[in-house]
Amino acid sequence: MKKSSKTYQPPGLFSFPSRSLDPERADRLCQLAQAHLDSNLPETAADIMLRAIVFDSPNKKLHYMLCLALYKSGQFKSAISWLKKLSGKGYTNFDLLEGKILQDLNKASSALIAIDNALASNPNQIEALLTRADLYLSVGKLEKAIEDLDSILLFEPNNSKALALRARSYLDTANPHQALRDLEKKRRCR
């Protein structure tokens, strides 16, 4: 009897042809994962999403929840790896999440590109504008940071994160009076 030179390879996550979860079940799994994220159990949420993706690999919502769970559990490189597996992302939430992960990996220029992609499809997305303003501050582009923060405060005048970041920006641009006004407004918003 001749031995085979091939060793067994388990099937990859994308090797199951045309399997998919019904949309209701996929939504329930996403809700379950979100509940685990809210309970500060991101590893469990990631495990749920990994198992769900085996059965529904093209489902973008499942991929997003998996990447979010990996990000929240501190597995930045795994989250980026999963984001890159998706062809033709063009999905605002993916771009925003990629930008946040790259920011946490101290890759500001790449993070700015991802955030700009997210803002291209929705220029008034508050979370993306906040992230980009924070990135601009980290690379010393204070005027651009202030522009983004001003945009946020037009829509949400009492946004405490935007007020705090703008106060920091004004301090860095030697404008302590405006920084003090923003900090006072932030204190009143609590």
Q: What CATH number is associated with residue 70?
A: 1.25.40.10
pLDDT of residue 8: 45
Task: Report if residue 43 sits inside a domain.
Answer: yes
* Domain housing 47: 20-85
Q: Which two tokens stand for residue 143?
A: 């005027």
Determine, yes or no, domain membership for 40: yes
Per-residue confidence of the chain (190 residues) as pLDDT tens digits? 555 555 544 444 444 444 567 788 888 888 999 999 999 999 999 998 988 887 766 778 888 899 999 999 999 999 998 888 764 555 668 889 999 999 999 999 999 999 999 999 889 999 999 999 999 999 999 999 999 999 999 999 999 999 999 999 988 888 888 888 888 888 887 6
The answer as to whether 6 is a domain residue is: no
List of residues 6+ apart from 125 with CB closer than 8 A: 92, 96, 118, 119
Question: Side-chain half-sphere of 57: how many Cα atoms within 13 Å?
Answer: 14
* pLDDT score for 89: 53
In a domain, 97, yes or no: no
The structural domain count of the chain equals: 1
- In whole angstroms, what is the distance from residue 115 CA to residue 98 CA? 8
Q: Is 186 among the domain residues?
A: no
Distance of CA 95 to the CA centre of its chain: 7
Whole-number pLDDT of residue 11: 44
pLDDT confidence of residue 1: 52
Q: What's residue 3's pLDDT? A: 54
- Greatest extent of the chain over all pairs of C-alpha atoms, in Å: 86
Q: Cα–Cα distance between 35 and 106 in angstroms, integer?
A: 29
Q: What pLDDT score does 68 carry?
A: 92
Predicted confidence at residue 10, as pLDDT, reads 47
Residue 58 CA to residue 35 CA, distance in Å, equals 23
> pLDDT at position 20, please?
66
**Residue 159 has what DSSP assignment?**
-
* Domain-located, residue 58: yes
Determine, yes or no, domain membership for 1.
no
State the pLDDT at residue 133.
96
pLDDT at 82: 87
Is 66 a member of any domain?
yes
Token match 């019904």: residue? 22
